Structure 1
Amino acid sequence: MGHLHRGGVLAAVLGLALATTASAPAVAGSGPDRYRNPISADFADTFADPVVVRGDDGLWYAYGTSDPLREGEKQAHRVPTARSTDLVHWTYVGDAFTADQRPSWAAPGAAFWAPDVRRVGDHWVMYVTVTDTNVSADTFDTAIGAATAPSPTGPWTFADQPVVAPRPGGGGGYLWTIDPSQFTDVDGRNYLYFGSYYGGISVTELSADGLHAVGTPNLVAVDNKFEGSYVLRHDGWYYLFASTANCCAGPATGYSVHVGRSRSPRGPFVDRDGLRLNASRAGGTPVLTQNGNRWIGTGHNGFLTDLSGQDWIVYHAIDRADPYLDEPFGINERPMLIDRLDWIGGWPTVNAGAGPSEGSRPAPVTTARLDERFTGTALAGWRTGGGTWQVTDGALTGTGALTSRTSVGGDVRAEADLRLTGADAAGLRLGRVDVRVEGHRLVAREAGGATASVALPAGVDLADRHNLAVEVRGRQLVAELSPARLGDQLAVVTLRLTHPTAGPLTLLAAGGPATFDNVSATRLYRPARQAVAAPRVGPLLSGWSDEFDDGLDPAWRWVRQNPDATVRDGALRWPVEGSDLTGTGNTAGVLLRDAPTGDYVAETKVTLDLGEETVRNFQQAGMIAYVDDDRFARLTQVAIWNTRQVEYGYELPFAGQPVYGGNIVGTPATTTWLRLAHHVDPATGEHEFRAGSSRDGTHWTWGGVWTFPADTTPRIGLVAHGGANPPVTAEFDYLRFYR
């Protein structure tokens, strides 16, 4: 959910209230419709941990964590709910729960965090963090609860027992049983992902009704690094999205979304470099991180697909100029944002890698060329090919064939919500291709051509509403059946066509009636094929660099010199100090030199043997962009409890005191290469520093951007501090600058 952070160089305070600047190609959808983040501005100043679903009525519903919605409101809502016709303009429609509504096992005053809403069978289920239960006097003995409802707007009724009960922690207190996310697999099994920094992210199988954990959970993402999970299935892979770093450090919040993938919903999940997410040196490929614009702390995501087939990520972020609700150091103000989720080389990335958007962008496609919600009884836009069809209660029921008078040419996506209320087979026809549910299989059949099919899970009741979506790009057809179009397909079938698709959309039902709703067909989205470029590394600026070949270059200057730091045999050797720079202590040594003007990249290679698994808080070494002791960006490989991470920490003065947060940039090896790419924003004059790390000096992971005011002159330096026990020495091979 992201209110808490046990790890990190600066521990967060427990409490309820708590890059690149290149533009990505605007490829999502077509037409004049546009949006601008935050999309929650119409109804809320803050709307954290958002998820979005499409309801049976064809409208979109968003749910957020229990906070006040507006400045000055003071009173927290009980899972606030909003509705939209276009995913851009939203209206608050009430809270999921009344002020006195709670499950019998929840303590009075318990809050509800991080809702996840799914269709299970013939109803909707909301999974939610319950922050305080009656199993102990501990005020944070968290659990996962569930509530059911007939529609996305309720009424919601809590289940009698928690889905996942409070779990005592081996180190005291209770493991953080928060941030639920449900997933239904192609075999029909339901899973729940949950957990956070204290205890890690686990997955457990659920009962068929989705209300009880069964079996033994297993760890899929290590503790002290990840929370806020979301799993979806794409091209046969299971992708675990998880947020990392501190959600709620105000203007220093570096929250971001990373991902790993697996061939199983139980993992193991690995990142693009093959590193597991549940190891001490945990992997994680960045999906969404701050890029130097208005938005920081971009995390805790949901997922949706628009009518054109384009995927989108919904998440919260913090405006770095307005980080708190009402007053400094109160509730972190985290409005809801949405951006395009692209798939490039098998990996998801936001806006082709450009990150969160600030300006006007093409909006999601929510109105199709053929867009039938059956709100009236007339079928003027359709012609029958036999059988009987009628509209009742906002849906279409019939047998035979019903063909739209609207044609959609070229690459196309068509979909419908479907119930086999008596039919033996039902589905969609696009030109010469039928895609039907028949014989408990999903079947795609081209007239005069090939047939492909896949079995549906045995427990699927086809009288319940499911979404059938068909995409044709060129001569490749992909069809899927899912509970509610949230990336958890029950069946996926592909078919290579012999002819391009041409012709109108036809609804088909044989052997009895079938019910259709939310029928649409429109041009298929145009995918992004290439990611935005990583920071360019040009020629070496030898006059600014130091290889440590002949003592320490005279250009270096110390802040609090450490006499034990020595240069010999082509390396700077620096025993890690028992000191730090965060907060008001400011006792650590910093070795600095001036930086070139304009754009440049600074790089160092640092060896630091921190071992694995053991707690060595918070030994670290690496590079720093430094203005003074209360304004710096520090890129280090660091021990954070049992994990080893590359942390891009940031401190700045705010409201009379220093504030520290961090962003995570890749996974360290014993020897790690680090880069800071400096860019001056031509509009504001701000200094932007994007961080990168590498385990081999060749393949780089680029992370977030921290900024410095235009009237500052950051220097670049080295640091080795955070703890002197056990003794360990950092070894720097060089500090280089590149144009």
Structure 2
Amino acid sequence: MGHLHRGGVLAAVLALVLTATAAPPAAGTTPDRYRNPASARYADTFADPVVVRGDDGLWYAFGTSDPLWEGERRAHRVPIARSADLVDWTYVGDAFGPDQRPSWAASGAMLWAPDVRRVAGRWVMYVTVTDTTVSGDTFNTAIGAATAPTPAGPWTFADAPVVAPRPGGGGGYLWTIDPSQFTDVDGRNYLYYGSYYGGVSVTELSADGLRAVGAPTLVAIDNKFEGSYVVRRDGWYHLFASTANCCAGPATGYSVQVGRSRSPRGPFVDRDGQRLDVSRAGGTPVLTQNGNRWIGTGHNAVLTDLSGQDWIVYHAIDRADPYLDEPFGINERPMLLDRLDWVDGWPTVNAGAGPSDGPRPAPVTTGRLDARFDSADLAGWRGEGAWRVADGQVIGTGALTSRTGVGGDVRAEADLRLTGRDAAGLRLGRVDVRVGDGRLTAREDGGAAASAPLPGGLDLADVHNLAVEVRGRQLVAELSPARLGDQLAVVTLELARPAAGPLALLASGTAGFDNVSLARLYRPVRHTVAAPAIGPLLRGWSDEFTDGLDPAWRWVRRNPSATVADGELRWPVEPTDLVGTGNTAGVLLRDAPAGDYVAETKVTLDLGEDTVRNYQQAGMIAYVDDDRFARLAQVAIWNTRQVEYGYELPYAGQPVYGGSIVGTPATTTWLRLAHHVDPVTGEHEFRAGSSRDGVHWTWGAVWTFPADTTPRIGLVAQGGAQPPLTASFDYLRFYR
């Protein structure tokens, strides 16, 4: 959720706000378009968002405890918004009243980063509690839980923390924040939690989801990751985690990276095979800023619309309006929503294009069939057996067939509950998909069948979601607690012919159905947007360091220890820095060509691993002056080694620095800055890339410079003198 922002909240915000009420929005047609921020109608800021679909078929968003509006200056205690279509949202109140907190929480405790799930037949909210009674430390964080019959509440705190405060070996308490729950196919519940001080861990939970049991496992290293969220897809567990600083105002570079594993306990590795729990931690970028208005894009959750398309919900900062009220106060982080694509098994936002700013096709929230059973009228259905509507669901035995037919690629869904050894499910034309007898089974009339076991002890009297997708002749069915990417069983069946015919509800014994839908199946994205193109080498602008230092170079604070010999620029790392007002570091610069180009360097810096060597670094820089620059370098950040893309700019009379994280560094790392001039604004956009071998590249964030500046490109080696270390640069090249 981002730790640096929160000190300002604790000092500046009063905890207050009574739960409000509002009539629920009605289901209707799906809007054709939407635009970010999704929270614009009900809040100026709505950080650390998570979205679930309730039993009423409506969508509920939960955010961290901040004021919602400019000038409000009072914190909402986990605000809740509701929507029928994921586009038009209404604030409906707060989960907790001003004096409502766990018995073990200190009186001034804040509630951050909620995660809401269905566990053991009820809704459970996991939430960070910032201050407890275990000590006088005001940041002895813990994970609490509250339960409710519906996402709208009423919410009641459990008597004990799920994860108690954890003393840190280096003093204070480990950051036990940013919870995210996950239920595995064997029915075991897990909780992911943690942040920069202590790393991200996972622990098993009790069956009711309210107690940590057993020993936790570290899955993502400290000083790099927080804000975790896990989705299971195609047998892989995908760990989404945010990295860098959430809350540096106009220099915020928060972003989302991912690793995957065959186990919920890891190890998680990125697309290049780099682990997330080691000093040179990996992480494949999922979401990062692209040069439009949105920066600091992070702390995500995932949801699925009725067509089967995944969406990512997250917060971001408008770089033109970074603070809620005054400069350097609460960072204004509205909720954004964007399409999440899976390409070659890896998630990426908008096919790799990043956050959207402008009209976009909206999520699908209604379909050919959208049955909520809010009235006793069963018009459009034909019953075989006994069927009736009660308590907002249809209950019966036999078959209830819709006049809506199945044809083409479709997704059907239903929330269902049944008792004893009864079975229930959906029929799509000639295919039955049923839950019962301890299994999820798909069977084609006169054809093949496939099944998967359900977790032992699963109580099907609780509501579960059954979703069935048919694409061509392949059928995939899954059962989950609440359609949040944590399936209890998945079945795949190759059909003899495409599914066609009516959609029916099936029950042997008595079963209840709700939120029955049939929608056209989404079309998956097969390819990502192109990476920056690398054209011919611009020899007149480049330097291979083969014959001394080219006369085109200019120093800012010349370092006489930097020498050129044998095709290398060798530069002892300086005990200096550019960040803030010190401005003591040397910078070696040269002019850049006009228009679009890519600058590249190859730098060797032996930072070792695991040890603390703050903040030795070397790399490339786009530089206007000492208070406006973008620095791309491999760097030691405490025990980790990262490729940081830092940015400093003047704001409200002082320099502000933040950063984003790109790829994983090696001892020798290749770095690129791809420069593009925005044809509308004239801004200079610099996108960062890094590589461990000079062949395979990871592309990250974009930082922008005003149109009236002339950035030069250069090299730096700075951040600390101990132990003595020399950076070696092979070249600086420009490509058109």
Which bracket does the TM-score occupy, shorter chain normalised? over 0.9
Conserved in 1, the CA contact under 8 Å of 2:252 and 2:659?
A: yes
CA shift, 1:136, in A, is 0.3
CA shift, 1:194, in A, is 0.2
Distance 1:586 1:13, change over 3 A: farther
Q: Which residue of 2 aligns with 1:647?
A: 644
| CA offset digits 1:92-142 (Å, max 9, x no partner) | 000000000011100001000000000012110000000000000000000
- Is structure 2 residue 465 aligned with structure 1 residue 467? yes
Q: Which residue of 1 aligns with 2:25?
A: none
- The 2-side partners of 1:626 and 1:84 are apart by 45
CA shift, 1:369, in A, is 1.0
Q: Which residue of 1 aligns with 2:533?
A: 536
Q: Which residue of 1 aligns with 2:186?
A: 187
Counterpart residue identity of residue 405, structure 1: R
Q: Which residue of 2 aligns with 1:26?
A: none
Q: Which residue of 1 aligns with 2:117?
A: 118
Conserved in 2, the CA contact under 8 Å of 1:261 and 1:271?
A: yes
Distance 1:492 1:119, change over 3 A: same
Q: Which residue of 2 aligns with 1:383?
A: 382
Conserved in 2, the CA contact under 8 Å of 1:423 and 1:513?
A: no
User: How many percent identity over aligned positions?
Assistant: 84
Residue 441 (structure 1) aligned to one of 439, 442, 455: 439
- The 2-side partners of 1:569 and 1:712 are apart by 35
| CA offset digits 1:138-178 (Å, max 9, x no partner) | 00000000000011011111011000000000000000000
The 5 Å alignment of 1:607-618 reads 607-618=604-615
Distance 1:102 1:14, change over 3 A: closer
Name the SS for the 1:169 alignment partner.
Answer: coil
Conserved in 2, the CA contact under 8 Å of 1:602 and 1:677?
A: yes
Q: Which residue of 2 aligns with 1:716?
A: 713
Residue 583 (structure 2) aligned to one of 578, 586, 593: 586
Q: Which residue of 1 aligns with 2:570?
A: 573
CA shift, 1:393, in A, is 1.1
Structure 1, gaps ≥5 residues long: 7-11, 19-29
- The 1-side partners of 2:523 and 2:477 are apart by 18
CA shift, 1:406, in A, is 1.3
Name the SS for the 1:331 alignment partner.
Answer: coil
- The 2-side partners of 1:406 and 1:270 are apart by 44
Counterpart residue identity of residue 315, structure 1: Y
Q: Which residue of 2 aligns with 1:428?
A: 426
Q: Which residue of 2 aligns with 1:410?
A: 408
Distance 1:174 1:32, change over 3 A: closer
- Is structure 2 residue 289 aligned with structure 1 residue 290? yes
Counterpart residue identity of residue 545, structure 1: S
Conserved in 1, the CA contact under 8 Å of 2:82 and 2:89?
A: yes
CA shift, 1:440, in A, is 1.0
CA shift, 1:459, in A, is 2.1
- Is structure 2 residue 306 aligned with structure 1 residue 307? yes
Q: Which residue of 2 aligns with 1:602?
A: 599
CA shift, 1:4, in A, is 2.8
Conserved in 2, the CA contact under 8 Å of 1:369 and 1:408?
A: no
CA shift, 1:3, in A, is 3.0
- The 1-side partners of 2:438 and 2:178 are apart by 34
Q: How many residues align?
A: 721
CA shift, 1:456, in A, is 0.1
CA shift, 1:381, in A, is 1.0
Q: What TM-score results when the alignment is normalised by the length of structure 1?
A: 0.97
CA shift, 1:241, in A, is 0.1
Counterpart residue identity of residue 472, structure 1: V
- The 2-side partners of 1:16 and 1:95 are apart by 21
The 5 Å alignment of 1:15-26 reads none
Counterpart residue identity of residue 719, structure 2: G
CA shift, 1:409, in A, is 1.7
Distance 1:723 1:673, change over 3 A: same
Name the SS for the 1:332 alignment partner.
Answer: coil
Counterpart residue identity of residue 69, structure 1: L
CA shift, 1:2, in A, is 1.2
Distance 1:304 1:572, change over 3 A: same
Counterpart residue identity of residue 466, structure 2: L
Name the SS for the 2:250 alignment partner.
Answer: helix
- The 2-side partners of 1:87 and 1:658 are apart by 38
Q: Which residue of 1 aligns with 2:40?
A: 41
The 5 Å alignment of 1:460-499 reads 460-499=458-497
CA shift, 1:504, in A, is 1.5
Conserved in 1, the CA contact under 8 Å of 2:5 and 2:330?
A: no
Distance 1:528 1:436, change over 3 A: same
- The 2-side partners of 1:218 and 1:532 are apart by 36
- The 2-side partners of 1:462 and 1:200 are apart by 36
Q: Which residue of 1 aligns with 2:26?
A: none
- Is structure 2 residue 41 aligned with structure 1 residue 77? no
Q: What TM-score results when the alignment is normalised by the length of structure 2?
A: 0.97
Structure 2, gaps ≥5 residues long: 14-28
CA shift, 1:424, in A, is 1.4
- Is structure 2 residue 3 aligned with structure 1 residue 3? yes
Q: Which residue of 1 aligns with 2:620?
A: 623
- The 2-side partners of 1:397 and 1:702 are apart by 52
Conserved in 1, the CA contact under 8 Å of 2:616 and 2:636?
A: yes
Name the SS for the 1:251 alignment partner.
Answer: helix
Conserved in 2, the CA contact under 8 Å of 1:202 and 1:219?
A: yes
The 5 Å alignment of 1:195-274 reads 195-274=194-273
Distance 1:423 1:403, change over 3 A: farther
- Is structure 2 residue 414 aligned with structure 1 residue 419? no
Conserved in 2, the CA contact under 8 Å of 1:282 and 1:643?
A: yes
Distance 1:464 1:16, change over 3 A: farther
Q: Which structure has the higher relative contact order (CA within 8 Å, separation 6+)?
A: 1
| CA offset digits 1:556-580 (Å, max 9, x no partner) | 0000000000000000000000000
CA shift, 1:367, in A, is 1.0
Counterpart residue identity of residue 510, structure 2: P
Residue 692 (structure 1) aligned to one of 689, 701, 704: 689
| CA offset digits 1:482-511 (Å, max 9, x no partner) | 00000000000000000111011100001x
- The 2-side partners of 1:5 and 1:380 are apart by 54
- Is structure 2 residue 568 aligned with structure 1 residue 549? no
Conserved in 2, the CA contact under 8 Å of 1:402 and 1:507?
A: yes
Conserved in 2, the CA contact under 8 Å of 1:244 and 1:664?
A: yes
Deviates more, 1:408-417 or 1:633-642: 408-417
| CA offset digits 1:486-543 (Å, max 9, x no partner) | 0000000000000111011100001x11000000001100011100000000000000
- The 1-side partners of 2:74 and 2:65 are apart by 9
| CA offset digits 1:290-322 (Å, max 9, x no partner) | 000010000000110000000000000000000
| CA offset digits 1:455-477 (Å, max 9, x no partner) | 00002100100000000000000
Name the SS for the 1:543 alignment partner.
Answer: helix
Distance 1:188 1:663, change over 3 A: same
- The 1-side partners of 2:266 and 2:58 are apart by 34
- The 2-side partners of 1:682 and 1:13 are apart by 38
In the TM superposition, structure 1's runs of 4+ consecutive aligned residues that sit over 3 Å from their partners are 12-18
Q: Which residue of 1 aligns with 2:149?
A: 150
Q: Over aligned residue pairs, what C-alpha RMSD do you find?
A: 1.2
Counterpart residue identity of residue 308, structure 2: G
Q: Which residue of 1 aligns with 2:138?
A: 139
Name the SS for the 2:658 alignment partner.
Answer: strand
Q: Which residue of 1 aligns with 2:731?
A: 734
Conserved in 2, the CA contact under 8 Å of 1:303 and 1:486?
A: yes
Name the SS for the 2:74 alignment partner.
Answer: coil
- The 1-side partners of 2:421 and 2:521 are apart by 29
Conserved in 2, the CA contact under 8 Å of 1:250 and 1:329?
A: yes
Name the SS for the 2:686 alignment partner.
Answer: strand
Q: Which residue of 2 aligns with 1:352?
A: 351
Name the SS for the 2:226 alignment partner.
Answer: strand
- The 2-side partners of 1:148 and 1:316 are apart by 25
Q: Which residue of 2 aligns with 1:333?
A: 332
Counterpart residue identity of residue 659, structure 2: G
Conserved in 2, the CA contact under 8 Å of 1:421 and 1:515?
A: no
